[in-house]
Amino acid sequence: MLDLKLIRANPEKVQELINRRHGDYNIQPIVELDRASRELETNRSQLSAQGNEIGKLIGQKIASGSNPQGEEIAQLKTEGNEIKTKLSELEPREKELKAEIEALLLELPNLPDESTPIGKSEAENIEIKRWGDEYISDRQNILPHWEIGEKLGFLDFKRAVKVAQSRFVNLVGAGAALERALISFMLDTHISAGYAEVMPPILVNSDSLQGTSQLPKFAEDSFKCSNDDLWLTPTAEVPVTNLYRDEIIEATELPIHHCAYTPCFRREAGSAGRDTRGLIRLHQFNKVELVKLVAPETSEAEHQALLENAEAILQALKLPYRILELCTGDIGFGAAKCYDLEVWLPSAGMYREISSCSNFKDFQSRRANIRFKQAGKKGTEYVHTLNGSGLAVGRTMAAILENYQQPNSTVKVPDVLQPYLKREVL
């Protein structure tokens, strides 16, 4: 959520930054509603003050011996009632205005960081790094991961569809073990880098989804439980960031670094027909997520470090990848700045997204009301939140099944996973 005071103080600048994004956003209605609501609030609070004054006076009079049923008190009560009548008109209007402003603010995306390259669409993202070219196989006829996976008996799409729907998979035998090994390897690596592991609820309530900005705009992207105010989490970002919702953290507790493995659930509304085969776009997938809550002045450096922590997994697995710096036309709703990691998929001859590392600055913390306090300093400040996949496990499995494929249609186990899987070839 954007800072209303910032919008008020600098509407042109805010509008200019928001215009850099894809989509049409207009802050003018907010500016006007805000003006009206402040005027109303000033009037209302003056009236309330009068009412409080009368209430106090009645109390004092009765305490000092006035007859509660007497003329004088009755007169004051009448005055009190008059004020109450006026208030009963102003109060609902003020509430309504504030709710309207809130609703509009919740629909507004974050301002892109000044350093985010300006561009209209993903075509204008900037590749800033390429790693592992030497690991790109020159072999022809590499089977797509779903074919090698089914051939080796690791991936069972058919039965998963029977049990659930299309876009689900059942992992079998070494397939399940590989998934588990990847999760453990990723977590162990991040824990060594100083992240504290959490295993949060994966059903989350609406407040949590609003806190990290999946709601209200993106309701159709998540699965909702019909009898409860609970949703299947689309990413661990939601439960982990919201762990701290409505809290005031001691400055000395920052930075907070968490890693978490969770399944993730997405309805993939609007992507019908895309990536229908394989592990790339499922309704349920596993992901290890990195989440940070940090002091504002450190968030840029923390973002770079987060990106490196995600890269470290790809590097350890010797999977070729590139980094894109997303342009203003492609960054997510809540992000001010974002890097995507894309892994090389030989069967497709292209890089596919495997991690997205975003700095939300105070956008989520404002929504989720996550603040920190410096001892001895007055007031509180919003933390900055960041997160990134480290990594999407299913897509990592896909990359391994392809990049580590051998001519005899077996798959070599990456060195770092061998201790987990206790074998060299799948």
Given the residues 356, 358, 365, 389, select the one marked as catalytic.
356
CB of 122 to RNA, least distance (A): 36
Do residues 156 and 168 make contact, with C-beta atoms less than 8 angstroms apart?
A: no
Burial class (CB in 10 A: 0-12, 13-18, 19+), 31: middle
What angle do helix axes 28-63 and 11-19 make, rounded to 10 degrees?
A: 130
Confirm whether 367 is a catalytic residue: no
CB of 333 to RNA, least distance (A): 23
226 contributes a contact to RNA by CB under 7 A: no
67 contributes a contact to RNA by CB under 7 A: no
Among 57-65, 156-164, 323-331, 355-363, which window interacts with RNA (CB under 7 A)? 57-65
Task: For residue 182, give both structure tokens.
Answer: 């990847």
Confirm whether 130 is a catalytic residue: no
296 contributes a contact to RNA by CB under 7 A: no
Confirm whether 266 is a catalytic residue: yes
Contact pick of 176, 191, 248, 301 for RNA (by CB under 7 A): 248
CB of 27 to RNA, least distance (A): 15
- Which string of x and - marks every residue 88-107 that binds RNA (by CB under 7 A)? -------x------------
Among 40-48, 129-137, 149-157, 271-279, which window interacts with RNA (CB under 7 A)? 40-48
CA angle 253, 298, 17 (to 5 degrees): 125
| 344 alpha-carbon distance from chain centroid | 25
User: In terms of CB distance, is 272 or 375 closer to RNA?
Assistant: 375
What angle do helix axes 28-63 and 71-106 make, rounded to 10 degrees?
A: 160
Given the residues 266, 352, 366, 371, select the one marked as catalytic.
266
User: In terms of CB distance, is 45 or 409 closer to RNA?
Assistant: 45
H/E run at residue 113: none
Match 């058919």 to its residue by tokens. 158
10 contributes a contact to RNA by CB under 7 A: no
For the chain, the 3-state helix, strand and coil shares in percent, each to the nearest 5, are 45, 20, 35
Identify the three-state secondary structure at position 183: helix
The total of other beta-carbon atoms located within 10 Å of residue 316's CB is 15
112 CB-near residues (< 8 Å, 6+ apart): 17, 20, 21, 328, 331, 336, 337
Confirm whether 197 is a catalytic residue: no
Confirm whether 226 is a catalytic residue: no
User: In terms of CB distance, is 68 or 173 closer to RNA?
Assistant: 68
Burial class (CB in 10 A: 0-12, 13-18, 19+), 175: buried
CB of 359 to RNA, least distance (A): 22
5 contributes a contact to RNA by CB under 7 A: yes
- Which string of x and - marks every residue 358-377 that binds RNA (by CB under 7 A)? -------------x-x-xx-
183 CB-near residues (< 8 Å, 6+ apart): 261, 286, 288, 393
207 contributes a contact to RNA by CB under 7 A: no
Q: How far apart are CA 319 and CA 123, in angstroms?
A: 24
CB of 118 to RNA, least distance (A): 31
255 CB-near residues (< 8 Å, 6+ apart): 292, 293, 294, 295, 298, 302
CB of 402 to RNA, least distance (A): 37
Do residues 274 and 282 make contact, with C-beta atoms less than 8 angstroms apart?
A: no
Contact pick of 9, 29, 32, 38 for RNA (by CB under 7 A): 38
CB of 81 to RNA, least distance (A): 5
Among 55-63, 125-133, 151-159, 356-364, which window interacts with RNA (CB under 7 A)? 55-63
Positions annotated as catalytic residues are 266, 281, 353, 356, 395
| Residues of the shown chain interacting with RNA in the complex, contacts defined by CB under 7 A | 4-5, 38, 41-42, 44-46, 48-49, 51-56, 58-60, 62-64, 68, 76-77, 80-81, 84, 95, 248, 371, 373, 375-376, 378-380
